Structure 1
Amino acid sequence: MSVVIWADGRLHAPGDPVVSAVDHGLTVGDGVFETCAVERGQAFALTRHLRRLERSAAGLGLPVPDEQLLRDAVAQVLAALPDAGRLRITCTGGTGPLGSDRLADQRLTVLVLAGPATPSSSSRAVRVPWVRNERSAVAGLKTTSYAENVVALAAARGRGADEALLANTVGELCEGTASNVVVEQHDELVTPPLSSGCLAGITRELLLEWGRDAGLPVREGRPGELTYDVLDDVLDGRAHLALTGSIRTVSPVVELDEHPVAVGELTRAAVEVYRARAADDVDP
């Protein structure tokens, strides 16, 4: 079985009905989620992911899901599919009206899934014409409202890439559809600040911590420091680029806007630091 699903206290097959047709996650995208890599049969950095899930739920105005319930569900799906590569936890607003209002007696829908993943050692990215709204009510929250990402990623796939890079409304470099970005320039590794509207990625967070521990010059950028046209410097070879995410981990960009680009030495060092530290602790 390629995917195992936990819902309502038990395991289900992919074809089993587990969600109501009037679930608010389906009708209006009222939900939050987390994706973890699975390492050695365990969800990587699960505690950090659960903390972010709580923050996203609170930011969306949803009840905070029960942590022990989630941990038990994670254990069940990974026991059923020990060779899984990816774990996904989804919490929605549950059954609701066909509009944006919620029921007064709201009850979360909680789903935990395990399935395959095929990480790549490098990434190919393109710029797209759409932007992140850093002033959105859900900026920085990991919600199930992913239609913008679906459109942007489809455009990237159509150009032979595996990620789309987004600016925000004021022309700052923000993030990918499912990744944070790290720019190597001037002998530093710099990632956009959270004020840009990007997600507070778990891999991004760990790279900042572990990189500093290892003596790498890695930091969060200042507001306005990384503009979208820094990607021109990557194309010209004056800068380099990497993407970070739970499945791709720290992934050097080897192609930008359908042109090959070089991988920087600091980026290579960051890949090695992350790989070594991740091997030491499955829940850092």
Structure 2
Amino acid sequence: MSTAVLAVLNSPALDGTAAPTAFRLADPADPQVTVHDLGATRGDGVFETLGVVGGRAQAVDGHLARLARSAAMLELPEPDLDAWRETLIAVAERLPADREGFVKLVYTRGPEGSGIPTGWATGAVAPDHTEARTRGIGVVVLDRGLPHDVTATAPWLLQGAKTLSYALNMAALREARRRDADDALFVSGDGFLLEGATSTLLLKRGDRLVTPSTSLGILPGTTQADAFRSARAEGMTTSYEVLPRTALDDADGLWLLSSVRLAAPIRTLDGTDRPVDEAFTARLNAALLARRD
């Protein structure tokens, strides 16, 4: 088994010209993308990252649906989801089954002027996130600088699409580390909770789980959706809500959820200690690790 895998899609778009095979395997160390690709020069593309456990990719349907949704928002050619599915599963199966991993899907507009999109899937062994899942993480709250209703007033900002333009998100993580924290949580310019730099916010209030509404232009969380399903199986209730910044203060527990790190309890928020529900966190991460594709 390899610790790094690359598969390049032969025809990533659903354009009526199906390729004989969905993908070709390539050496991850070799050049594959032209310097004229708009994904590289302008961030004009979308991506998804799936967790891999036991050689099986997790939440495949949810991630492919979100890939298609993001592509539509950017007016990219409609992706051939069957080809993407076959490719990502093949990549996941080539990763070590005894270690957690991830598969990243990248879909770009392709070389400038060509009209031919580019697509590939990379797989690798994931870092060990045991400490984040158990001890928890330090988080700082950062102002995204846009009003909470910006999706309705300025849809061209592509809020809620998982685009390759992640420079802002990476800058937020660097700012968090400058403040001796592990991660960042965005709030709108008018004080409403949004999402983490690369994650979804989850709040617990008694037997109810809450996450910020996707109507605010935040990315629909695939891991959060699975967390909601797990919680409802325990008899809890779940909801999507428009939440003010103050909602953090009276929550019984806070988590940032993502596909590879899974559920990381927030141990400190802006330097202030927060309660960590260790038992619920353990059950939640066990359920997330047990997900099938």
Q: Does 1:27 align with 2:41?
A: yes
Q: Which residue does the alignment assign to 1:263? A: 276
Q: Deviations over 1:77-131 (max 9, x none)?
A: 23432345111001000011xxxxxx4x511110100012122312221112434
CA contact (8 A) 2:253 2:275 kept: yes
Q: Does 1:182 align with 2:202?
A: yes
Q: Does 1:229 align with 2:246?
A: yes
Q: Does 1:167 align with 2:178?
A: no
Moved over 4 A (4+): none
Identical residues among aligned pairs (%): 35
One-letter code aligned to 1:59? M
CA contact (8 A) 2:263 2:285 kept: yes
Distance in 1 between residues matched to 2:47 and 2:237, nearest whole Å: 32
Q: Does 1:94 align with 2:107?
A: no
CA gap of 1:230–1:3, structure 2 versus 1, over 3 A, is same
Q: Deviations over 1:245-272 (max 9, x none)?
A: 111222211122233321147xx43651
One-letter code aligned to 1:282? R
Q: Which residue does the alignment assign to 1:15? A: 29
Q: Which residue does the alignment assign to 1:100? A: none
CA contact (8 A) 2:137 2:264 kept: yes
Distance in 1 between residues matched to 2:204 and 2:254, nearest whole Å: 6
For these two proteins, the number of residue pairs brought into alignment is 266
Q: Which residue does the alignment assign to 1:116? A: 125
One-letter code aligned to 1:6? A
Where 1:282 maps in the other structure, the secondary structure is coil
CA contact (8 A) 2:143 2:188 kept: no
Distance in 2 between residues matched to 1:282 and 1:196, nearest whole Å: 29
TM-score by length of 1: 0.85
Q: More deviation in 51-60 or 156-165?
A: 156-165
CA contact (8 A) 1:132 1:174 kept: no
CA gap of 1:277–1:26, structure 2 versus 1, over 3 A, is closer
One-letter code aligned to 2:204? E
Distance in 1 between residues matched to 2:288 and 2:234, nearest whole Å: 10
CA gap of 1:213–1:91, structure 2 versus 1, over 3 A, is same
**Cα RMSD after superposing both structures:** 2.2
Q: Give the deviation of 1:181 after TM superposition.
A: 0.6
One-letter code aligned to 1:92? T
CA gap of 1:132–1:177, structure 2 versus 1, over 3 A, is farther
Q: Give the deviation of 1:185 after TM superposition.
A: 3.5
CA contact (8 A) 2:54 2:100 kept: no
Q: Deviations over 1:15-53 (max 9, x none)?
A: 211111011111111111110100110110112111111
CA gap of 1:208–1:13, structure 2 versus 1, over 3 A, is same
Distance in 2 between residues matched to 1:213 and 1:79, nearest whole Å: 29
CA contact (8 A) 1:45 1:282 kept: yes
Q: Give the deviation of 1:187 after TM superposition.
A: 5.4
Where 1:205 maps in the other structure, the secondary structure is helix
Q: Which residue does the alignment assign to 1:6? A: 7
Question: Gapped runs of 5+ residues in structure 2?
Answer: 11-22
TM-score by length of 2: 0.82
Q: Does 1:45 align with 2:45?
A: no
CA contact (8 A) 1:132 1:166 kept: no
Question: Gapped runs of 5+ residues in structure 1?
Answer: 97-102
Distance in 2 between residues matched to 1:174 and 1:6, nearest whole Å: 34
Distance in 2 between residues matched to 1:170 and 1:187, nearest whole Å: 29
Q: Give the deviation of 1:76 after TM superposition.
A: 3.1
Distance in 2 between residues matched to 1:271 and 1:131, nearest whole Å: 35
Where 1:207 maps in the other structure, the secondary structure is helix
Q: Give the deviation of 1:2 after TM superposition.
A: 4.0
Q: Which residue does the alignment assign to 2:257? A: 244
One-letter code aligned to 2:174? A
Where 2:202 maps in the other structure, the secondary structure is strand
Distance in 1 between residues matched to 2:77 and 2:282, nearest whole Å: 37
CA contact (8 A) 2:55 2:94 kept: no
CA contact (8 A) 2:46 2:67 kept: yes
Q: Deviations over 1:129-172 (max 9, x none)?
A: 43456424311111111011010011112223221010123310
